[in-house]
A and B are shown apart, each in its own frame.
Chain A
Amino acid sequence: MPMTDAWQTAEIPGPKKASLILKPDIADALISRAKRPIMIVGHGIVEYEVDGKPMIECLIALARKAVIPVVVSASTNREFLSREFEPAAIMSAVEISSRLTDPEWKGLDGKEPYDLAIFVGLPYSMEWTILSGLKHFAPNVKTMTFDCVYQPNASWSFPNSTIKDWAANLKGIVENLED
């Protein structure tokens, strides 16, 4: 299937559509360039593995290396806590996303607004609609998704990928950050 078709066939996007993250370097550059990134993690991540390890471990490694605060929805919190990683906040995905549309909101720590929001693990259509909200109403926040399917309403998204390719990309992102 074309890399930039929405994963759910009928979720036709546009005119404005996400640019593709075709290799890890792109994501790394976006993360490195961001002054205030934040990651929003949904419960879907528990279903996936990267190199035989739960994907959540890859995200934790990423968050630690890039110093990215992680906001989790309710059901995902335990997965992080059990790996001795404390999320910055537990909030519903719509609530944290709504906050991101407020240019005066200075973040969870009250310091300054976020400029990059990374989404992963939400139900596809829920993430689709939330990213649409941010595309239209959070002009100062770039959005990126780490899911293995194309999310057209993000600023940057992986293409529709096999789990194997996607896992390799995620692993590459973390490794590059180490370098």
Chain B
Amino acid sequence: METNLCVAGFGGQGIMALGKILAEAACDSTDKKVTFFPSYGAEQRGGTANCYVVISDEEIGAPLGDVMDDIIVMNGASLAKFLPRVRPGGRLFVNSSIVKDEIGRGDITVVRAPVTELALELGNAKVLNVIMLGVYVGYTRIIAPDIVWNAIEQTLGSKVSLLPLNREAFRRGLALGEAAREDR
């Protein structure tokens, strides 16, 4: 079993942190193989940012797939760029606060989450990536939520004052993801 994920959005939306936390949780919790591959270069300076996570029972070939099983999309430009690369039967997790477009593909599962609005409700726009991570983990159950939470805690490190906000953000995301899973 191998899962290929691409996370894409604007620079500043915490795209790299989302992918890296998930990959670190996979490294910590299992004996699975895992890779995290960030895009690097000009697109990080003001345009779209994206990264790839592969979690597998086998040795991993390329740390990014020709086609993706899952994509997480935080803005419209990323949807246009990565939607054609989702395999039939794959899953799209989309920030529905920003991306209002018709998805236009009937052969994939679409999970919509208004993560920008939810983050603003929580009082900090920056936690939209943690909410989306919760949605993804809640829906896919790719890694146990408490292990992902440990990885978030580790990432925040000494910034303990941010823990309650992030805990609530992750919890909300998880609830959304789990609800979407039950509605399938």
A binds B: no
